[in-house]
Amino acid sequence: MLQKARYIRDLVKKLNQYRHEYYNENASSVSDAVYDHLYNELERMEKETGIVLSNSPTQTVGYKSVYGLQKVQHSIPLLSLDKTKMAHELVSFLKKREALLMLKLDGLTIKLVYENGELVEGSTRGDGHEGELVTHNINAFQNVPLSIPYKGRLVLTGEGFIHKNDFERLKGTLVGSDGKPYRNARNLASGSIRCLDASVCKQRKISFCVFNILEGMDEFKDLRDSRCRMLSVLKNYGFEVCPFIPVSPDASVENIEMQIKTLKDLAEINDIPIDGMVLRFDSFSYSESLGRTGHHYNDGIAFKFEDDTYETIFRSIEWQTGRSGEIAPVAVFDTIEIDGCDVSRASLHNLSFIEGLELHPGCRILVSKRNMIIPHVEENLDRENYQDMTPQFCPCCGQPTRTYSRAGDKGRIIKTLHCDNPECDSRILQRFVHFTEKKAMNIRGISEATLDQFIQLGALKSYQDLYHLDRYRDQIIALEGFGEKSYENMILSINRSRNTTFERYIVAMDIPLIGRTAGRLLDQYFHGNLRELEMAAVSRFDFTRIDGIGDIMSRNIQEWFRNSDHLLLWRGLQKELHFENGLDAETSGEENNMNETINNKFAGCTIVATGKLENFTRDGINDKIISLGAKPGSSVTKKTDYLICGEKAGSKLQKARELGVTVLTEQQFLEMLTA
């Protein structure tokens, strides 16, 4: 089958080249008879194998346009991996187990879903939990199989990218949303995959390589526990697999470094854009047993290449007081160009970082753009003339500053500078900025400058005041930059934010270290019920019982709720809002809802659904499982508590019986919900 898949790919390549010669260069290198013969041969092979590639000349479908990108929830989170730049850490990570060393492609992560042999969904990774639907663009890719011989449900992840030689040809003719030329292939690939018009995406030469299997292929029992062999099976279906090399359990640093060089050379020869390597265990079952954090999976590690550095002159430090009172240092240096961008500022993190670099005005420094995104001061080339530039007073309110110390990793002491004045204007402003951000209450179109104006006007003293700005309507309209229309648009945006979620509300409260990931975990555990969370916190509930929440986070939640001002804010603000799950603070019958979620039989369980269900879609059953305080699983293991079976349950049913997992029909599951 692999030979047939390769033959199809070769035929597609040849025919597309002949078409290009005929239509674009008016110089065909083959006769019409030869072209027709190859075309008929391709049609026959596609029918015989069931493999049809997106760039096949037999596909004459048009390219769709959409009005916007719909959101899609990932039932299995598409998380990242932990990172390192040290080869010896890759060896330590191996733990004497077989693994794969794979190219880390520099593009956009894509999830593909196949049902009954047909591509039914393509989506971006997004934040790992929610992405965007880009199915309309997938058939505009260079090499994605639209039809495959595998008839079960198959969910894959891979990378959409643009070959370096294609980017070199394209970059001179295209500009981004900022009106400037694209500076790297990754940005062009990301923008092209997310564009609304598939005919535009088609012109951008997007290629795709698979690197993981999320669902499906369970019937390949003799291969299923080897990532290497399962990825090889995908080649039989016409997929291009991300290049990799098997790594032996006893590999040395020298072995790893040699394999990294081999893969780098391969990428260079094939014009594949990469920004590192990925080391991942070969065994799927072992990978699953390692679990994950809120940020990354534990079964792999990304090896990042060293970032390029650029020399410039350090001039000064700007100090910015944040909402927590910590005063952040920012380096100001002579402008340099990195990856086509002008860079003149970079975070200096904390006092210990500044002391470690021995910075002083006029010294030569090396600056990088870590991961090609974040400017970072890497080194001071003129040490031994360190000058303490720490301000004695807050740059905003003028109150005396204080230095605090905390333990860092590897025994280091981290010193940070703080303003302890709770009435500091900068602290107050930054709290409002955080509250209105997209990840919190998502109030669009209200800038930091606007919030500052409202604070100076006296219109904002608490978060609740945002929802009563109509009291200051005339004064706001009279402000510079405002008018009737801008005021109305702002009020409309504020009122839209009244419809919010448990997770956003938690983030908006700004509990230290409790962000979106922790908010999502709390949402699941407390069934979206804010009252239930409050009761747990004030009763000193041990939040470390929730997988993904550690000691410090648990202590922060408890301490936050012990503050009477925080409790007043927590309860009072809820009266201004409506929560999408219906669990408003004043909802009648809330206690009944709490009892129902607390007492349901599935809370805390791991539940897997398989087969065709009558009352639920695949995402729908997973959403229902989450709403019960349970965890949706993708495969049956010893940790599985229930298997819900629909029609054509397949190998998961057999696995559940072998492991003694409780098996429920869909009807039995529904009856248990109402029992």
Q: What is the Cα–Cα distance from 521 to 3, expressed in whole angstroms?
A: 47
| Residue in 64, 104, 261, 639 annotated catalytic | 104
Task: Locate 36 and state its tokens.
Answer: 């027709």
Phi, psi of 265, rounded to the nearest 5 degrees: -65, -40
Please check whether residue 35 is in contact with residue 27, taking contact to mean a CB–CB distance below 8 angstroms.
Answer: no
According to DSSP, the residues that pair with 102 across neighbouring strands are 244, 278
Please check whether residue 139 is in contact with residue 61, taking contact to mean a CB–CB distance below 8 angstroms.
Answer: yes
In 389-501, which residue ranges form alpha helices assigned H by DSSP? 425-436, 448-457, 473-477, 484-496
Whole-angstrom distance between the N-terminal and C-terminal Cα of the chain? 51
Q: What is the Cα–Cα distance from 549 to 518, expressed in whole angstroms?
A: 7
Q: What is the Cα–Cα distance from 212 to 117, expressed in whole angstroms?
A: 18
Task: Locate 152 and state its tokens.
Answer: 């079960």
Q: In angstroms, how far is CA 437 from the centroid of its own chain?
A: 18
Q: In angstroms, how far is CA 413 from the centroid of its own chain?
A: 31
Q: Which helix (H) or strand (E) holds 124?
A: strand 118-124
Q: What is the Cα–Cα distance from 87 to 259, expressed in whole angstroms?
A: 11
Name residue 4's amino acid: K
Strands (E), 353-486: 364-370, 374-380, 401-407, 413-419
Residue in the structure block whose two tokens are 């000691």: 551
According to DSSP, the residues that pair with 606 across neighbouring strands are 631
Q: What is the Cα–Cα distance from 344 to 367, expressed in whole angstroms?
A: 10
Helix, strand, coil fractions of the chain, as percent rounded to 5: 40, 25, 35
Q: What is the Cα–Cα distance from 632 to 606, expressed in whole angstroms?
A: 6
Please check whether residue 209 is in contact with residue 107, taking contact to mean a CB–CB distance below 8 angstroms.
Answer: no
Please check whether residue 352 is in contact with residue 412, taking contact to mean a CB–CB distance below 8 angstroms.
Answer: yes
Instruction: Write the CA distances from 128 to 10, 132, 342, integer angstroms.
Output: 35, 11, 30
Task: Locate 420 and state its tokens.
Answer: 């302890």
Query: Active-site residue 104, yes or no?
Result: yes
Q: What is the Cα–Cα distance from 44 to 389, expressed in whole angstroms?
A: 75
Among all residues, which ones are annotated catalytic?
A: 104
